[in-house]
Structure 1
Amino acid sequence: MLEHAFVDQDGLHDFVFGGDGLSSRYDCLVITSQRAVEAVGAVLARAPSAAARARVLAMPAYTVGPATAALLASVGFSNVLGAGDAGNGSVLADIIVADATRQGALRCIFFPGRVRKDVLPQKLRAAAAVECDERVVYESRGVEGADAALRAALDAAGGAAQRAAPRAARTWVVFFAPGGADAAAATVAGRRLPAAAIGPTSAEFLAARGVRAAAVAAKPDPASLLAAIAAADAHDV
């Protein structure tokens, strides 16, 4: 349904490496999506020097979920925080605020996509010990013809579901990001196929567009999503 594009890589490069560098202006990074990690990683690959890259990679990087944490580590970040202890942006914000309060203050730079929920930056800016700036690093756009392809796939899945035995495994429509929920909800709404969401943000985007998520992952990773779907199937939600 969506394709993703980096936003102003040259400008981001100047932002990260300009002047005395990112680490002179901020104490930590906040990156909550794999696409944002890819955008920042692409800039780090063009660092003006190994030393400049190393200074950024040494900064604490707060994130949500083990998958994004693993990607940050693969880019080279050595101090990844939150991760498996932060199942969503609200919990991550609480972790950052607690760290800032303990340390006295934290200056954070948040690298989101164009579509994101406000809870994390709002919580951070409401905390006296936290300063939070943000810079959009990627955006998502609809793929031409994807809506018709999705409609055909849902029609086929709905027909198969009607022919299946009552206790047969159900076909689920799974949403891995708020952007996907935004793009596909109108096509999914009104169908009898159950929907699942990778986390509460995607579930809220779906609900606002008339689709109830029958299963929501406790943590933003495939294993937790599968567990939520299995639990919903077991209870026939």
Structure 2
Amino acid sequence: MKVILLKNKTTPSDPYDRIFQQHNYEPIFLPLLRHTPVNEQIILSFLTSDDFLDNYEALIITSQRSIETLGQILAKLHSFGRFNDILSKPSYTVGPATAHVMRQLGFTDVRGGDDAGNGQILADIIKKELRAGRVLFLTGQIRKDTIPRELKLAGFDLKELVSYRTEPLTDIVDRYTKIVSRLNKNDWLVFFSPQGTRYILDHLDHFSRLATIGPTTQTFLARRGIGVDVVAKKPCAESLYQAIVGDELSHSQMS
């Protein structure tokens, strides 16, 4: 059975690719967006500044793309004298996948992760654990307001640096049509974000099984009259896999 994942495949390894292959599914990645790193020199300069290292309590990074940009920047800093001071800074993430990659980069105090399934939960954790000080948020050009709003209301001095921009790919419909022409109605289509999906919403008739990685995308689809079969409880590969398997099991028991 095939699982069409409307996302870019993460490098060097993708947890969604790994877990579905392990369980005899065929994952197929269909990127809808192009992610381009930006402000690398600005971020590099700030991370190595005494201001960040001495005065900022923590780093917040909630997106896989921001982490990829950060990884490229850190690769240039191994000879920096206070490199370990960067890696020891408390780092708050959403979901286990981002937490795992941050640890792979060498960060030693990664927080949130499994315990933070969305931005609201992460903001609550930060408010509980830190005094209202200075915090750096590495984010995309398009981001939700939840974390900045909650932390600023709580008195935090939040500095945001945009680490990547996102643009829809121009050939989404053509690539989507070619892929779905080779599939059947038992295969799954998984939505990861509202961004880019509007281009294919008129072409969903082929699928009877739709899934989303979280409630935000589910709400986006519902407002357009599109219901989904499953919603992952957490924004991670394991949770998505369990949701899909659970749905298939319930249908097999009814048949």
Q: Please, what TM-score do these two structures have when normalized by structure 2?
A: 0.76
- Deviation digits for residues 129-172 of structure 1, max 9, x if unmatched? x3222111012223342321113323443xx32xxxxxxxx222
Q: What CA RMSD, in Å, does the superposition of the two structures yield over aligned residues?
A: 2.2
8 Å contact kept, 2:172–2:199: no
**AA paired with 2:48?**
F
The answer to whether 1:115 aligns with 2:128 is no
Instruction: Give the secondary structure class of the aligned counterpart of 1:51.
Output: coil
**For residue 200 of structure 1, what is the aligned residue in structure 2?**
215
8 Å contact kept, 2:94–2:117: yes
Give the Cα separation in 1 of the matches to 2:238 and 2:188.
15
The answer to whether 1:14 aligns with 2:45 is yes
**For residue 74 of structure 1, what is the aligned residue in structure 2?**
104
The answer to whether 1:187 aligns with 2:200 is yes
**Unaligned stretches of 5+ residues in structure 1:** 162-169
Matches within 5 A, 1:35-46: 35-46=65-76
- Deviation digits for residues 10-49 of structure 1, max 9, x if unmatched? 122122223x152223110011111111111211222284
* The 10-residue stretch of structure 1 (57-66 or 137-146) with the greater mean CA deviation from structure 2: 137-146
Change (3 A) 1:186 1:212: farther
- Structure 1 runs of 4+ aligned residues shifted over 6 Å read none
Normalized per residue, the structure richer in helix is 1
Give the Cα separation in 1 of the matches to 2:102 and 2:154.
26
Percent of matched pairs sharing the same residue? 35
8 Å contact kept, 1:88–1:200: no
> Once the 2 structures are TM-superposed, how far is the Cα of residue 106 of structure 1 from its aligned partner?
3.3
Give the Cα separation in 1 of the matches to 2:158 and 2:224.
30
**Unaligned stretches of 5+ residues in structure 2:** 1-31
Change (3 A) 1:46 1:5: same
Q: Please, what TM-score do these two structures have when normalized by structure 1?
A: 0.82
Give the Cα separation in 1 of the matches to 2:218 and 2:74.
33
> Once the 2 structures are TM-superposed, how far is the Cα of residue 59 of structure 1 from its aligned partner?
0.3
**For residue 18 of structure 2, what is the aligned residue in structure 1?**
none
Give the Cα separation in 2 of the matches to 1:144 and 1:92.
34
**AA paired with 1:172?**
W
Matches within 5 A, 1:1-237: 1-18=32-49, 20-47=50-77, 49-100=79-130, 104-128=131-155, 130-157=156-183, 160-161=184-185, 170-176=186-192, 178=193, 181-189=194-202, 191-192=204-205, 193=207, 194-208=209-223, 210-235=225-250
